[in-house]
Structure 1
Amino acid sequence: MRQLLLVTTLILMAATPLRALETSQGDLAVSVMADDLRVPWAFDFLPGGDVLVTERAGRLWRLEPTGTRHEVSGVGKVAAQGQGGLLDVLVPRDFGATREVIFTFATPQEAGAGTAVAVARLSEDATALRDWRVIWEMEPGSTGGRHFGSRVVEAPDGTLFVTVGERGDRPSAQDLSRENGSVIRITRQGAHAEGNPFLDREGAQPEIWSYGHRNPQGAALDAEGQLWVSEHGAKGGDEVNRVKKGANYGWPVISYGTHYSGAPFPEGSSKEGMEQPAFYWDPSIAPSGHMIYSGRMWPDWEGHHFIGSLKFGHIAVLAGDPLELRETIEGPQTGRVRAIEEAPDGAIWYLSEADGALYRLSPP
């Protein structure tokens, strides 16, 4: 069992490079930034170059630019079962003033576990979290260990978008009295945000921004501040959705493909009042992680969507209006891509759950 503080050597960019990945922008160098991670789920960048990485079992790591790694203490209790555990991590824009870090995770509940959001302060020496506090959790009522969703994105106005899976309870995604299968919008204190669409709807949960989702495991803002999510859908129906205020994305009433049992959807692939996906995959790729690229290092990729595939082991690159698949980035180091982010310098970093490794893509 690893100690609370563990220092290990990272394989940095200066190390012997791995085999390059072929892309439309030429062969890109692949560097291992950290390895020996156990079911890593998410990462984000701290000012100064350190990186925070979550492991689903409940561990949080801080990676230093110097090549060392420390386990950060102070993570609260998580329900590490099935697909649940410690999940997303977000370093908000005001970290320099507040030292607050935001997490999503599966929290133990009387009826199993539910998606939750916590905030904690990172100590000045960056070795521990202080004052871990849960600011929001979905109302209980679903058991089982799947479909937590659980990406968190900071909106331009400072509110938080959080994706919530339907927890395997399909009808709940159409029930506005429950948060299952929704994107919620909350304040940094965990209250519903002003301007949410269902504040005046009797019986509706005031945090809900959109609903009818299955299991959104990717979320990103584009340059205009528009939210996009990528989500696990039906067999032949994984989706990318442009998320609109108050919109219903149809699960489980409509979808492309079929249920995994082979059963069709009651309304097929469309119904009045329900949104169509911006893009869908057939066959399904099991998308996880979603980044919309700035173009800083590769201008031709400006505005392109980068989405990891857990099933096929690649990074899907989408662009255009309507969205279309432009390329897949695939190689020995792209097994079960769980998360993908743009670094401050414009390099592309991603987590491979299969390798237990954090990689960096850069020009050769």
Structure 2
Amino acid sequence: MALKTVIGLALALGWLAADVAQADGINAGGRRVSAVQPFNAQTVAEFDTPWAIAFLPDGRMLITEKPGRIYIVTQSGQKTEIGNVPAVAARGQNGLLDIAISPTFATTSQVYISYTEPSTEGSRLVLTRAVLSLANDRAMLSEPTVIWRQTPAGGGGQPGGIIAFDPAGTHLFLTVGDRMQPTSAQDPRQARGKVLRLNLDGATPSDNPMAEDKGVRAQTWTTGHRNPYGLAFAPDGRLWLHEMGPRGGDELNLIEPGKNYGWPLVSNGDNYDGTPIPRHATRPDLTAPPLYWDPVIAPAGLAFYDGALFPQWKGSALIGGLRAHALVRVAFRGDGQPDEAERWDMGERIRDVAVAPDGAVWIIEDDSPGRLKRLTPAK
């Protein structure tokens, strides 16, 4: 064999090995909890199955409860229920889900909420924009407008429903789970198993990957997701998503336009009935997670830390663990590769994580009552 051919073959095999290694990613599933917690956890309030936290500019919080209530909450724990919340289909994993403050909140007082609404064809995931009206110690949602609705309706749990805005504040991203209909995640006619990119009014941006098409295709940013309960932009402007795998294989993915992340064609886990699913390495045409967990942590909630109270966490991702009963910190190497850096046992299922304007970290428990806790540096 000619020397040039041998060298070429060696290079090709090297590239193949590199591709396989990338497809395998880092498995952090077996990591142990850290022996020391670098924070004090103060319980501030309790809720009925809380789901999401969003901070107002003045430091107060909006907190959703899955059965269909939203509260304004002060940092001392005083709660004010918000009126005129849309009716939700609250059952199992479904109900009132995420809440997010509009990038234009300072001038419009608008907020966005996601939820599953009742329907004769089965529940639908819905995204609504409304004005948060505050007057005389009362609060309500006014001018509610549905700007996106799942079509066709129906499906089980795994709704997704996480809302994120790009750093410029001009576009909205929404995760849609597969609603327990796995094959729908690869159906371009359905929103299930997709990340959607919309204008702030729900219209389709002209620069989406398939913007020339209509309907779901035009709205789709990425494809092939199972149960995405975390979506956030990092300080460097990159968009990250985590999603729950089946029996094994929770994923943290870098979200890039037009990519297919593989579900249910590939996974680092297997079906609940024990039947195997091909691994990511078998399909290099599909985007593999750089970090995954097997055994699973059941990730929920995702926030990037850019505050002052925990300077050692700058740039890290904070993730709640439902199955792991933990708060997980993911750090990023210089080349962008994520890896679990620390895991703290919180004793309960952690549903959401948020960072306050003062740099404190807030978490909520997935329980009834579920506690809202403030984490500050241990002294």
TM-score scaled by length of structure 1:
0.88
Q: Relative to structure 2, which stretch is displaced further, 257-266 or 170-179?
A: 257-266
Look up the equivalent residue of 1:87 and give its one-letter code. Answer: L
Structure scoring higher RCO (CA < 8 A, sep ≥ 6) equals 2
Counterpart CA distance in 1 for 2:205 and 2:280 is 34
Match of residue 30 from structure 1 = 41
State which structure, 1 or 2, has the greater radius of gyration over its C-alpha atoms: 2
Q: 1:343 aligns with which of 331, 356, 360?
A: 356
Counterpart CA distance in 1 for 2:191 and 2:299 is 21
Q: Relative to structure 2, which stretch is displaced further, 209-218 or 77-86?
A: 77-86
1:133–1:201 Cα change, 3 Å: closer
Q: Indicate yes or no: 2:193 matched with 1:193.
A: no
Checking the alignment, whether the CA contact within 8 Å between 1:109 and 1:140 is kept in structure 2 is no
1:206 aligns to what SS in structure 2? helix
CA-to-aligned-CA distance 1:205-237 (integer Å, 9 cap, x gap): 211100100010011110122111110112120
Q: Indicate yes or no: 2:297 matched with 1:291.
A: no
Q: How many residues align?
A: 339
Match of residue 166 from structure 1 = 178
Look up the equivalent residue of 2:322 and give its one-letter code. Answer: L
Counterpart CA distance in 1 for 2:198 and 2:162 is 13
CA-to-aligned-CA distance 1:293-343 (integer Å, 9 cap, x gap): 1142212111111111111200111113422111101133xx110000111
1:57-206 mapped onto 2 (5 Å cutoff): 57-65=67-75, 67-125=77-135, 127-144=139-156, 146-157=157-168, 158-201=170-213, 205-206=217-218
What is the percent sequence identity of the aligned residues? 36
Q: Relative to structure 2, which stretch is displaced further, 153-162 or 201-210?
A: 201-210
1:201–1:266 Cα change, 3 Å: farther
How far did 1:47 drift?
2.2
Match of residue 315 from structure 1 = 327
Counterpart CA distance in 1 for 2:212 and 2:245 is 30
How far did 1:191 drift?
1.2
Match of residue 44 from structure 1 = 54
Counterpart CA distance in 2 for 1:63 and 1:202 is 41
CA-to-aligned-CA distance 1:165-188 (integer Å, 9 cap, x gap): 011111110111111000001111
Q: Indicate yes or no: 2:288 matched with 1:276.
A: yes
Checking the alignment, whether the CA contact within 8 Å between 1:24 and 1:327 is kept in structure 2 is no
How far did 1:194 drift?
2.5
Q: 1:326 aligns with which of 327, 341, 352?
A: 341
Q: Relative to structure 2, which stretch is displaced further, 128-137 or 247-256?
A: 128-137
How far did 1:356 drift?
0.8
How far did 1:32 drift?
1.3
CA-to-aligned-CA distance 1:242-279 (integer Å, 9 cap, x gap): 00100000000001121111111156643132001021
- Alpha carbon RMSD of aligned pairs, Å? 1.9
How far did 1:24 drift?
8.7
Structure with the higher helix share, 1 or 2 = 2
List gaps (5 residues or longer) in structure 2.
1-32
2:263 aligns to what SS in structure 1? coil
